[in-house]
């Protein structure tokens, strides 16, 4: 499971840095007038640069939350660390060793009990949709075991890549084509260099919208989780922010505003409690 793939290695020696002080309560946040929100860098359709400005599902959701709280939103784009634990450390409760401080709220956090238990300085809450692995191609196999001789484009080191590489003792390894990101993998599918692509459904939908490729979710034998809830995180000291944002999420979902945000980015809204 990811917040993205395991990309970055830490290459620089630690530097002394003092994180900027953040509010210790929702009242202090409101007094300051600003909500600082961490989102992932270069992560379409959730947070990415479009026409020189930050855009995406998570960006619009953060702004909707800020508006409901009466706060302006300041974004903190982050590059994935080696794992989500590192992202929570860098973005939520400690700050990166290169400086930059921390955020009040982080979006796109896997809503996972084991992850929450390992990170006592952060509060995981507010699952707002369900992500899943999906297949795009001329047809969708019922199960991964039924994948034939297709050339399959995957994002390098992603969950999709690691799963197919290990499936049935590596039967599909020679058929996998590795690309730096979902955009490149889907480009290979569109121009005929690949016959199918396997990855997260949201990214496939965004990259392939307007085309006639079939998208579906094959069964994935041996994979612990083929779908997972995605939520948010804040500091342990900002539990009152978590409670307030939880109420706002329920309101946005009930009004249809959350689904409309997903629709604007050609992505299916799958509620977190939908299996």
Report the pLDDT value the prediction gives residue 138, as an integer from 0 to 100: 96
Report the pLDDT value the prediction gives residue 254, as an integer from 0 to 100: 97
Residue 15 has pLDDT above 90, yes or no: no
Give the span between the Cα atoms of 237 and 254, in whole angstroms. 28
**Region 81-87: what's the mean pLDDT?**
93
Q: How confident is the model at residue 22 (pLDDT cuts 50, 70, 90)?
A: low
Residue 18 has pLDDT above 60, yes or no: no
Complete domains list, the chain, with CATH: 26-130+228-264 (3.40.190.10), 132-216 (3.40.190.10)
Residue 17 has pLDDT above 70, yes or no: no
Using DSSP bridges, classify how beta strands 152-155 and 176-179 pair: parallel, antiparallel or unpaired.
parallel
Report the pLDDT value the prediction gives residue 14, as an integer from 0 to 100: 32
Residue 117 has pLDDT above 80, yes or no: yes
Report the pLDDT value the prediction gives residue 273, as an integer from 0 to 100: 84
- Report the chain's mean pLDDT, rounded to a whole number: 91
Report the pLDDT value the prediction gives residue 152, as an integer from 0 to 100: 98
Structure tokens given for 176: 């996998």
* pTM attached to this predicted model: 0.89
Are the beta carbons of 220 and 163 closer than 8 angstroms?
Answer: yes
- Tell me the residue ranges of DSSP E strands in the chain: 34-40, 48-50, 53-55, 72-78, 105-110, 122-137, 152-155, 176-179, 196-200, 214-216, 227-235
Structure tokens given for 121: 């300085």
Report the pLDDT value the prediction gives residue 78, as an integer from 0 to 100: 96
**Residues, the chain:** 275
Give the span between the Cα atoms of 250 and 142, in whole angstroms. 34
Picking from 21, 11, 42, 57, the residue whose alpha carbon sits closest to that of residue 202 is 57
Give the span between the Cα atoms of 80 and 40, in whole angstroms. 7
Picking from 115, 198, 113, the residue whose alpha carbon sits closest to that of residue 155 is 198
**Residue 59: left if φ>0, alpha if ψ -120 to 50, beta else—which one?**
alpha
**Region 174-193: what's the mean pLDDT?**
97
Give the span between the Cα atoms of 131 and 163, in whole angstroms. 16
**Region 54-67: what's the mean pLDDT?**
98
Q: How confident is the model at residue 8 (pLDDT cuts 50, 70, 90)?
A: very low
Report the pLDDT value the prediction gives residue 4, as an integer from 0 to 100: 43
Express each pLDDT in 85-101 by its tens digit: 999 999 999 998 888 89
**Region 94-122: what's the mean pLDDT?**
92
Residue 12 has pLDDT above 60, yes or no: no
């Amino acid at each position: 499971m990811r917040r993205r793939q395991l990309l970055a290695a830490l290459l620089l020696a630690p530097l002394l840095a003092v994180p900027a002080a953040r509010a210790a309560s929702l009242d202090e946040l409101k007094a300051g007038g600003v909500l600082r929100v961490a989102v992932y860098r270069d992560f379409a359709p959730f947070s990415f640069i479009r026409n020189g400005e930050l855009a995406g599902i998570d960006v619009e959701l953060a702004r909707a939350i800020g508006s409901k709280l009466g706060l302006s939103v300041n974004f903190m784009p982050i590059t994935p660390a080696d794992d989500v634990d590192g992202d929570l450390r860098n973005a939520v409760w400690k700050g990166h060793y290169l400086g930059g401080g921390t955020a009040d709220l982080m979006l796109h956090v896997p809503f996972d009990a084991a992850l929450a238990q390992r990170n006592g300085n952060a509060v995981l809450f507010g699952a707002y949709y369900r992500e899943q692995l999906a297949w795009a191609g001329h047809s969708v196999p019922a199960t991964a075991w039924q994948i034939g001789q297709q050339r399959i484009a995957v994002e390098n080191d992603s969950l999709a890549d690691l799963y197919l590489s290990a499936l049935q003792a590596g039967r599909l390894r020679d058929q996998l084509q590795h690309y730096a990101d979902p955009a490149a993998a889907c480009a290979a599918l569109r121009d005929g260099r690949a016959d199918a692509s396997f990855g997260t459904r949201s990214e496939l939908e965004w990259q392939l919208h307007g085309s006639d490729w079939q998208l579906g979710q094959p069964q994935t034998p041996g994979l612990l989780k083929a779908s997972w809830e995605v939520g948010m995180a804040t500091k342990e000291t900002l539990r009152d922010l978590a409670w307030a944002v939880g109420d706002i999420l329920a309101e946005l979902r009930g009004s249809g505003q959350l689904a409309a945000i997903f629709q604007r980015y050609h992505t299916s809204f799958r509620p977190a409690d939908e299996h």
